[in-house]
Amino acid sequence: MSRRTFLVSALQGAGAGAALVIAVPVDSLLADKGRVVERYDWNDHSYLFLVDISRCIGCGMCVKACKKENGVPAAFYRTWVERYTVYDEETTHIESPEGAMNGFGPSNPATGASKSFFVPKLCNHCKYTPCTQVCPVGASYTTRDGVVMVDRKRCIGCGYCVQACPYGSRYIDPESHTADKCTWCYHRITRGMNPACVQACPKGARLFGDRMRENDPVFEMVETRPVRILQPELLTKPQCYYLGADKEVR
Amino acid sequence: MGETVKKERHTKHVYRVLIILGLMTIVVFAVRYVLIPEGWGEYGNFRTGAVADMLEIEPVHGRWDGCKKCHPDQWEAVRTADHATLSCESCHEPLSFHVENGRRKTPMPTDRSYKLCARCHRRIQGRPEGFPQVKIDDHLEEMGGEFGPEVCLDCHASHAPLEGLR
């Protein structure tokens, strides 16, 4: 073989190799990992969450459903409901007994409170999330459809992400000693179901949407209604929006 | 003659450096092979298999209308009454507790306690006005009833709470 023919054939081979890499659809790699994945393409989805505070009645059915759906260990919460009691501009009392897993019990009405309301909380699934940035082993990651999750097999349980999250959404599982958090019920949403908390909410205070679905009512609400995000000054770009949130909510 | 000796010496050095470089390369790749898991970096700074692991988890709660197939009458009764927006699984148990592979596994429990009703309907601080809520003592006094652990169901049917009050 002459040098010329060798170079030509080498170039041809490289070209064919490059073409092969491009031709393989990106998600065929995921497709052969399990039957569920075959009918799910994460490039077709971009999820968002909307909490309508004015609708929340503080029953805590969402917390109960989340616990059962995800086997969340006792005393830890992937979602919880807080009761804000505002007295004046300086004083706000926030409580969440057992994450509101059993709702809010009878309580003496606070005297002198000017307003009181419930605020459901969960992971904000930030676009620029500090929790994945600080992970030293790449166990925290963001999927293409916008969900922040933890690789339990990879996590070393250092707890750095738990500290980094400004919303307190993460915890270290006391059994597996790995970080854990809300996944927007990834195993459900990829099957076309709603997250467990959204399905359990009797008042529609929790809504789950998809930007890439045609005429998505939740995305439309986020686009047209006066929504806000929590702690916008941190520039984390949460994908969880709040409707009717008072200025006290953080 | 002297030139050739010089050349040989140089070749020796080059070989040594090449051998060391080669060994270092092997070590680097060996360490990488051990440390980097399968499927790493295909879509970002994570293991692709981690996503597949999440996808394989079986849902505990069923679909919104998961109970309809076997209980069409109850489903219809709830959906046409004031508790239409309630998920069956909120007051009962998750579907997978009751059904496995499309067959009944365990009987579905029914919580008849007033505490379940009170979760939503007890008048407490923070609950939006306009949502039906009562102070249980006042409500019993007004309607005339004796308090008991299942007191709400004395008058209200849980599936259609404001229909056919007893």
Task: Indicate whether B5 belongs to any domain.
Answer: no
> Quick one: pLDDT at residue A34?
44
What is the rounded CA–CA span in Å between residue A57 and residue A204? 10
**Any idea how long chain B is?**
166
Contact residues, chain A, for B87 at CB < 8 Å: 61, 65, 199-200, 202
**Of all helices (H) and strands (E), which one includes residue A51?**
strand A47-52
pLDDT in tens, A185-194: 999 999 999 9
Lowest-confidence region among A31-40, A81-90, B76-85: A31-40
Domain count within chain B: 2
pLDDT in tens, A24-33: 333 443 444 4
B122 beta partners? B134
Specify the range with the lowest mean pLDDT, choosing from A40-44, A46-50, A78-82: A40-44
Q: pLDDT, tens digit, for every residue of B46-74?
A: 999 999 999 989 999 999 999 999 999 99
Domain boundary among B55, B75, B90: B55
Q: What is the pLDDT of residue A216?
A: 97
What pLDDT, on a 0 to 100 scale, did the predictor assign at position A22?
Answer: 39
DSSP, residue by residue, A95-128: E-GGGGTT-----PPPTT-SEEEEEEEE----TT
Is A58 part of the contact surface with chain B (CB cutoff 8 Å)? yes
Q: How far is A20 from chain B (nearest CA, A)?
A: 16
Per domain, the residue ranges of chain A are 130-180
Structure tokens at B147: 């308090």
- With contacts defined as CB-CB under 8 Å, which chain A residues touch B50? 139, 141, 149, 151-154
- Asked whether residue B46 is domain-assigned, the answer is yes
The CA-based angle A187-A191-A196, given to 5 degrees, is 55
Nearest by CB to residue B120, choosing from A36, A59, A64, is A59
Fold of A130-180: Alpha-Beta Plaits (3.30.70)
Per-residue pLDDT at A14: 63
A102 closest CA partner among B124, B114, B153, B115: B115
pLDDT band at A5 (very low <50, low <70, confident <90, very high): confident
Chain A 219-248, residues with CB within 8 Å of chain B CB atoms: none
For B55, which of A40, A83, A139 is closest by C-beta distance? A40
Name the stretches of chain B with pLDDT < 70.
1-8
Q: What is the mean pLDDT of chain A?
A: 88
Q: How far apart are CA A83 and CA A96, in angstroms?
A: 6
The pLDDT of residue A139 is 96
Could you count the other beta carbons within 10 Å of the beta carbon of residue B111? 12
How many angstroms separate the CA atoms of B7 and B2, rounded?
A: 9
Interface probe for B, chosen from A24, A36, A189 (most Cβ of B below 10 Å), is A36
- Residue at a domain's end among B19, B35, B55: B55
pLDDT for residue B7 = 59
- State which residues form the domain around B38: 11-55
Question: Is A87 at the interface with chain B, CB within 8 A?
Answer: no
Q: Is residue B62 in a domain? A: no
Give the DSSP per-residue string, A59-86: --HHHHHHHHHHTPPTT--SEEEEEEEE
Q: Which residues pair with A154 in a beta bridge?
A: none
In a domain, B6, yes or no: no
Closest CA to A154 of B75, B108, B40: B40
